[in-house]
Amino acid sequence: MTQHRINTNDHPAIKQYPRCIPLARKEEAECLVKEMVDNGIIEESSDPWASPIVLVKKEDGSTRFCVDYRKLNEIAKKDSYPLPRMDDTLDS
């Protein structure tokens, strides 16, 4: 599993309550979470940080499992490095 750290500058943990998921889709969400845990994509955590999930129907009828990290993004320290110049990129 890959570890990743997000610099929040010692901001207190943001704990958002889960959004309401219709009962008909709750089982689908639980199956998606179980599948990701079984495949080693995610793991259980007791961390105080929490962001709500969003289930999005794709055109083919399947479901995309998304997480709304907007509140976290607001406080995360931005990486500041310049993008390469387009002409330098094209010339290489």
Q: What is the pTM of this model?
A: 0.73
Res 79: pLDDT = 79
Instruction: Give the start-to-end residue ranges of the domains of the chain.
Output: 23-40+48-75
CATH of domain 23-40+48-75: 3.10.10.10
Task: Measure the CA–CA gap between 21 and 23, rounded to whole angstroms.
Answer: 6
pLDDT digits over 35-91, tens only? 999 999 999 999 999 999 999 999 999 999 999 999 999 999 887 777 888 888 888
The predicted pLDDT at position 50 comes to 94
Answer yes or no: is pLDDT of 92 > 80: no
d(CA 67, CA 6): 16
pLDDT tier, 1 (very low <50, low <70, confident <90, very high otherwise): low
Contact (Cβ atoms closer than 8 angstroms) between residue 88 and residue 27: no
pLDDT digits (tens, 9 = 90+) for 9-22: 899 999 999 999 99
> What does the pLDDT average to over 25-44?
94
